[in-house]
Structures are given as structure tokens and as C-alpha cells.
Amino acid sequence: MTSTDQTTDRTTEVPTDDPATAATAAAAGFAARAVGLRKVFGPTVAVDGVDLDVPTGSVLGMLGPNGSGKTTLIRMLLGLTRPTAGRAELLGHDVGAAAAAALPHVGALVEGPGFHPFLSGRANLSRVAAAEPLLGGRPLAPVVDDALERVGLAAAADRRYRGYSLGMKQRLGLAAALLLPRRLVVLDEPTNGLDPAGTRDVRRIIGELHAGGATVIVSSHLLAEVEATCTHVAVLQSGSLLAAGELRTLLDTGGSGLVVSTPDVELALRTLREVGVTAYRTEDGVAAADDGPPAPEVIALLVRAGVAVHEARRNRTNLDELFARLTEETP
Amino acid sequence: MTTAVLPAGAATAPRSAPLGRLLGAELTWVLRRPRTLVMLGVLALIPVVIAIGVTVVGGDVPGPRGGPGLIGAIAGNGLVLPVASITLALALLLPMAVTTAAADAIAGEAASGTLRGLLLAPVGRLRLVVMKAFGVLVVATLAVLVIAVAGLLAALVVVGSADGQLVTLSGTTIGLGEALGRVLIMVVWTVGQLAAVGAVALALSSLTEHPMVVLASVLGGLIVFGVLSAIPALDWLQPYLLTSGWTAGADVLRDPMVWDGLVESSLRALCYTAVGGGLATYRMLRRDA
């Protein structure tokens, strides 16, 4: 996440990227990075200067209410949308210039499943498989059958997609994302339209991907879903990154963090994140977790950086409440 | 769920699926689409209907301007049928078939959410244009061939030909072999004209995610071209209008063959194809999906 040192223990557990793919040493530990990503659609700012690092091997839950910019951020990370400013990296490759090097290793289900209604599930998946660079030269039929089996669609494989239920469509979308072993899997609202059994399946799949060393980015507007499966969390609201960090750290922050009232929010956040403190925006300033230097040092650091500190106190808001407030209110 | 991290050999892993496989997948997709098949079926009916009409009505059918027209020339001279049918279909049905394919190729894929799947695979954006252009060209070729073959069959079965010979519009007679050669020239020339329509349609298709917009614009455009070429004051526009050369097809039925119209309209079609293809490529390299 924004602070690298809290994640180093995790990245070392995971099989490291091959040297050619990890273009820069600095990026080696991150499966995906957003650097100052911003997207403006006409008068609407969909994503507003997001910095986000997704450590290799983590499961990142991207949380936020509808319209908070989750999908736009994911689309920019995958190179489907051109950012207005900033840049994105996938598996160490710049998305603008070299997405083709990373994308074969990335599986994605973005904005719901997209398939042709007049083709069967199997035919649709065969078409997806034909376009996969890493399947080049291999027979596709067994790969497709495996994927259908894995998501529980084998029985309905030869029915037309037109007749699929919402859940079956979602399952076919998952099958396409997981057609072959991936290093990064991006799932945008994967449990949409799924019954409880389907939701459990998605959780199981995410767990298995995680155990296998893959990185997973999963977006959701449901806290429970994220809490159950994720190691890391990023909270978005109105296009801004409200909080990002290890789930455990963020949840702990609620009880014992430091709340600083200041008008210089951007500067404060930058200063705190530079020294490895998990920090997020609050109503009138920033909140800092206790994962960095002790409180007096943090305050001194802010003052030295030129941040006008109006008030500093122990945090009393629970992050749980923050999540609930974020995800239940419609902004 | 196998999620093994790929071996170190992945550094040299291919960055795109083999082009042959992509083209094969596109071909399957195009040919499995019900509307493609219905369209080909309808096109095959054109020469059959004309053949029956000509045979039932009998001999002297006056052409549109009083003289013995292309349709009139079919009576008792079946080998004219393929050429006449293609000329007739080129007015609207063939461009519609090609435009439908082009509209589905990019705008349709965007609408059904499959375009982003292709881009994420990733199919390189340039390859995607090649793949899509190939699909449209296949539909164009099949459409013209279907009319030609159905026309030949209908000519032999329903109309009957003058002893396996073709009486040209110039009044001379040529043998079956050369007549088939003339039909082949007509097919190739028509595919060239349709390629121009398809390229422009693909360019429009890359600009939108509503296939209907593409279909309406191209067919509307063809009608506008027709209107423009009917206004005498706008004669100077003729060399720039794609449709103004579309009567040249009948030239294959003259003896000796008149090449001027065919060559000129082919060059014009080539210009349209280049502009359309260039625009489609430019747009696809930048498009959000």
C-alpha cells in the first residue's frame, strides 16, 4: 500500500517475479501501482489523484459506495481507460507503454461479464481462449472445459449465453478471468447477482488464488465481503483514496490512532505516508495509524513539513463505523 | 483452481495469440452469427426470384428507360443473371450486409462488453483492426459469391442459356469459359467496392458503441450520394462519389470488355478503403473500451 515497510514481510513470502517482467527494482514488490492517477469526464472528476500500491501476493479489497471511482480506477490500471493525469503500472510494466507485456498474466472481470448472446457458454469461452497469448499453440478445448468445470458451469456449457441466469453469466465471466494461471486477478464486483453459494465460491476462489501466490484486486461495496477475504483494503469516496493499508492495521487504527485537524490535508497525508504511517482523510484533517513513529514525533514531523496543525488528539472513530458510513450512505 | 505462478520462462512468453488463431476465431464468430446466415440466404434468393420473374413474364421486358435493360437481357440468356443480380444487390442489399458486419465488428463488440475482453487478452489494437477487417471482408466476399453461384445455378436450371453461351450486350456471343471469367471479374470488382463501404463502416464502428448508428449512417450516406449524383448542378462531385461508378459492373457484359469504368471505380474504392481503414486504425489505437 502507500507504505512499503509494512508489507515487506509479505512480499518476501511470495515467489518473486521473473527479472524481465519486473522492469524496475522499485516496482518488483508491487503487482499493480497507481501514481497520481486522475480521470476527468467532462465536468465530473471520477478519480482524483490516487496513489495506490498493491503488493505482490496480497488480496486488495477496493471498497467504496457506488460512483466512488472504483471501476474507473480499475479500468485505468488495466489500460482500458486513458488517465487524464498520472500513470499506472501492472506487474512492473507501464500500462501506457507496455501493457501487452503484463496483460497475458492478468485475468480480469470488469463491469460485469461480456459475452455474445447467440453463442453457447463454451463457444464464448473458446473465443476468449483463442485470444489468450499464453495459450498460443496449445489445444483450447481442454482448457475451456477445465475452466467451465471450475466455476460449476459444465452442465450448462452448451446452452446459449442468452438463456443464462445472472449468476451463470457472472460465473462465465469468472471462468474467462481464470482461464489460465494468472499472476494478477482483477475482479470488479464479482458477487453481483450470485446466490449465497456463488458468493461462497467466489470467496473460495479468491482464497485459492491467494494461497497460490497470485495477487487479487477485488472491488466491492460490501464491507463484509472484503473483510472476509482481503489482506489489504483501499477505501474510495468521490474519486479520492480515503484510506489504504493492511486490513488489520486499518481496523486497529480505529481504536488508537491520532487525529490531526489541519487545512493542509494533501501535504499532511504525503508527509505521513513518506515515513510509512498509514494515514487517511477525515472530515477536518487526517487520521494516522500507530504503525509509524510515536505521536510526538509524528506531530513534530507534520509541523516541520509546514502543515498547520490546529488540533491533535487520540482517534475515537472506529474504522468499522467509517466503512459502514461510507458504504451505506449514498453520497 | 490451479494458480501456480508461471515459470521463469515467462519472460519470453508470447505477447499475442497467433494471428491465424485470431482470424479463425473471428471467422467462426462471423459465420455463427444468425444474422450473417439469414443475410446470405436472402442474397441467394435474389437471382432465383429474378430468374423466375423473367421466365414467367417472358421475353420482351422493357428496361427502366424503355430499352432492353440488364434484366431484359436475361431472358433466354441466363449467364447474364449473376451479373444483373449483383448489380441490383449492389444498390442497397450488399452494402447493408457488409455494413451490418462492420457495425457488429467493433461497435457491436463494445456494446456487448466483449471488446474489452479482447483488449485485455491482450489482442494488440492493430491486430484487432486486422482481425475485424478480415471478418468484414469475408462477409463481403461470401455475400457476392453467394449471389454469383445462386445466379449461375438459377441460370442453368430456370432460365437456360443460349447453348451454354453468353450473348453480350454488344450482341456478340462468347463461350461458357469466358462467360464464367467475366462473372469472376464482376465478383472481384464488387468485393473491391464493398471493401470501400466496409472500411468506412469500420471507421464509424470504431467511433461508437451503437451498431445501429453505423448502419443508419452508411445507408443514409449511400442514399445521399445517390441524390447528389442526380443533381445536374453538382456534376463536378461525381468523381468523388463512391456510388457513381457502380453501374460499371455491367461493362463485363460488353464485347470487347470496357475496362475504363471498372478501373476508375476500383481506384476510387481503393481511396475510400485507405481513408476508412486509416481512420479505423487511428481511432482503435486510442479508443477506450
Decide the pairing of beta strands A311-314 and A258-261: antiparallel
Sheet with A240-246, edge to edge strand ranges: A106-109, A184-188, A215-220, A59-63, A232-237, A240-246
pLDDT band of A24, cuts 50, 70, 90: very low
User: Comparing C-alpha atoms, which of B16, B25, B287 is closest to residue B138?
Assistant: B25
pLDDT in tens, A26-36: 445 899 999 99
Nearest by CB to residue A114, choosing from B8, B11, B116, is B116
User: Comparing C-alpha atoms, which of A166, A171, A180 is closest to residue A148?
Assistant: A171
- Determine, yes or no, domain membership for B94: yes
CB contact (8 A) between residue B112 and residue A114: yes
* Dist CA B121 CA A235 (whole Å): 28
The CATH number of the structural domain formed by A248-328 is 3.30.70.100
Provide the chain A residues 81-100 that lie in CB contact (below 8 A) with chain B: 81-82, 99-100
- Is the Cβ of B49 closer than 8 Å to some Cβ of chain A? no
- Determine, yes or no, domain membership for B21: no
Instruction: Determine the pLDDT at residue A317.
Output: 52
- Determine, yes or no, domain membership for B41: yes
- Determine, yes or no, domain membership for B25: no
**Domain ranges, ordered by start, for chain A:** 5-236, 248-328
The pLDDT mean for chain A works out to 82
* Dist CA B80 CA B72 (whole Å): 10
Least CA distance to B284: which residue of chain A?
A80
- Determine, yes or no, domain membership for B15: no
The whole-number average pLDDT for the span A290-319 is: 80
- Determine, yes or no, domain membership for B289: no
So what's the ipTM on this one?
0.84
Decide the pairing of beta strands A85-90 and B173-174: unpaired
Chain B residues with CB-CB distance to A79 below 8 A = 119
pLDDT in tens, B239-250: 899 998 898 988
pLDDT in tens, B145-196: 999 999 999 888 877 766 667 888 888 888 888 889 999 999 999 999 999 9
Domain span holding position B167: 33-58+66-284
- How far apart, in Å, are the Cα atoms of B231 and each of B90, B91, B92, B98? 21, 18, 20, 27
Decide the pairing of beta strands A184-188 and A215-220: parallel
The whole-number average pLDDT for the span A72-86 is: 93
- Determine, yes or no, domain membership for B86: yes
Sheet with A93-94, edge to edge strand ranges: A44-55, A30-41, A85-90, A93-94
Instruction: Determine the pLDDT at residue A323.
Output: 66
pLDDT by 10s per residue, chain B, length 289: 444 444 444 445 677 888 999 999 999 999 999 999 999 999 999 999 998 888 777 555 454 444 456 777 777 788 889 999 999 999 999 999 999 999 999 999 999 999 999 999 899 899 999 999 999 999 999 999 999 999 999 888 877 766 667 888 888 888 888 889 999 999 999 999 999 999 999 999 999 999 999 999 999 999 999 999 989 999 899 889 999 889 898 899 888 888 999 999 999 999 999 999 999 999 999 888 7
Instruction: Determine the pLDDT at residue B60.
Output: 52
- CB-based contacts of A182: which residues, under 8 Å, 6+ apart? A105, A106, A107, A209, A214, B3
- Is the Cβ of A11 closer than 8 Å to some Cβ of chain B? no
Among A14, A116, A146, the strongest candidate for a mutation testing the B interface, having the largest count of B CBs within 10 A, is A116
A5-236: CATH topology: Rossmann fold (3.40.50)
- Determine, yes or no, domain membership for B11: no
- Is the Cβ of A130 closer than 8 Å to some Cβ of chain B? yes
Nearest by CB to residue B13, choosing from A104, A115, A128, is A104
Q: How many domains does chain B have?
A: 1
